[in-house]
Amino acid sequence: AQSVTQLDSQVPVFEEAPVELRCNYSSSVSVYLFWYVQYPNQGLQLLLKYLSGSTLVKGINGFEAEFNKSQTSFHLRKPSVHISDTAEYFCAVDSGGSNYKLTFGKGTLLTVNP
Amino acid sequence: EAQVTQNPRYLITVTGKKLTVTCSQNMNHEYMSWYRQDPGLGLRQIYYSMNVEVTDKGDVPEGYKVSRKEKRNFPLILESPSPNQTSLYFCASSENRVRRNQPQHFGDGTRLSIL
């Protein structure tokens, strides 16, 4: 069975500071990995995805994530955050099994303060 | 504009009164899914559909029904709602789940309160 652990439920940072949101997964097979962002009162939007190839993946709004197979991690980073990045971020994994299931982590609330 | 549309966005109702939350997508996607989002639990899948007339249970299907008579629509039915179904619900779709690199597109959510 696949599972996703987002290590921090809340991450407060100051504007223009760097940020890392941590995600670890468990799966017995190869995975596809995703980060989604949810702004207040909205649905989820795809930030970036890892399917194969380069382990460093770039997404929208200046975010990037690095896939580390040995540590089963897919941490999300941004070198300088803005107030507008305040949102909840979800890591998700699809292990490609026959149940066609996308498993989400519990989310990390990023709060950017002025 | 490509989108997933859910209705209603907000609903307050009482225990036992049947309700339906509609979901429609205009992207000709084969795969559709329903999730519920609860604080501290993230998103949990309720039901999914690989294509017309093909549906299957997710992680938390109890108390819910779905149907997929047309490709674009995937309604979620609560036959006898109970307070523990108070939650934020999301519908999502993707082009084809067999090709797993297709990300899911989400609706804006439906906030249900069951009194």
Contact between A46 and B108 using a beta-carbon 8 Å cutoff: no
A positions 47-106 inside 8 Å of B (CB): 49, 51, 90, 94, 96, 99-102, 104-106
Give the confidence band of A98 by pLDDT, cuts at 50, 70, 90. low
Q: CA of B17, closest CA in chain A: separation in Å?
A: 26
Amino acid identity for residue B47 in this structure: Y
CB-CB contact of B17 with B113 (8 Å): no
CB-CB contact of A19 with B69 (8 Å): no
Is the backbone of residue B105 left (phi > 0), alpha (psi -120 to 50) or beta? beta
Contact between B40 and A9 using a beta-carbon 8 Å cutoff: yes
B positions 4-63 inside 8 Å of A (CB): 4, 31, 33, 35, 40-45, 48, 50, 56, 58-59
Give the confidence band of B99 by pLDDT, cuts at 50, 70, 90. low
Q: CA of A102, closest CA in chain B: separation in Å?
A: 8
β-pairing, B110-114 vs B10-13, is parallel
How far is Cα A99 from Cα A10, in angstroms, rounded to an integer? Answer: 31
Residue from the list B45, B50, B103 with its beta carbon closest to the beta carbon of A46: B103
Higher-confidence residue: B11 or A53?
B11
Closest by CA to A112, choosing from A17, A8, A42, A32, is A17
pLDDT for B26-48, tens place per residue? 999 998 999 999 988 889 999 99
Contact between A43 and B107 using a beta-carbon 8 Å cutoff: yes
Contact between B48 and A94 using a beta-carbon 8 Å cutoff: no
Flag whether pLDDT at A19 surpasses 80.
yes
Q: Does B89 touch chain A (CB under 8 A)?
A: no
Q: CA of A54, closest CA in chain B: separation in Å?
A: 15
Contact between A101 and B58 using a beta-carbon 8 Å cutoff: yes
| pLDDT score of A110 | 97
| pLDDT score of B97 | 59
Amino acid identity for residue A113 in this structure: N
Size of interface A-B (CB pairs under 8 A): 53
pLDDT for B49-74, tens place per residue? 988 999 999 889 999 999 999 999 99
How far is Cα A77 from Cα A83, in angstroms, rounded to an integer? Answer: 15
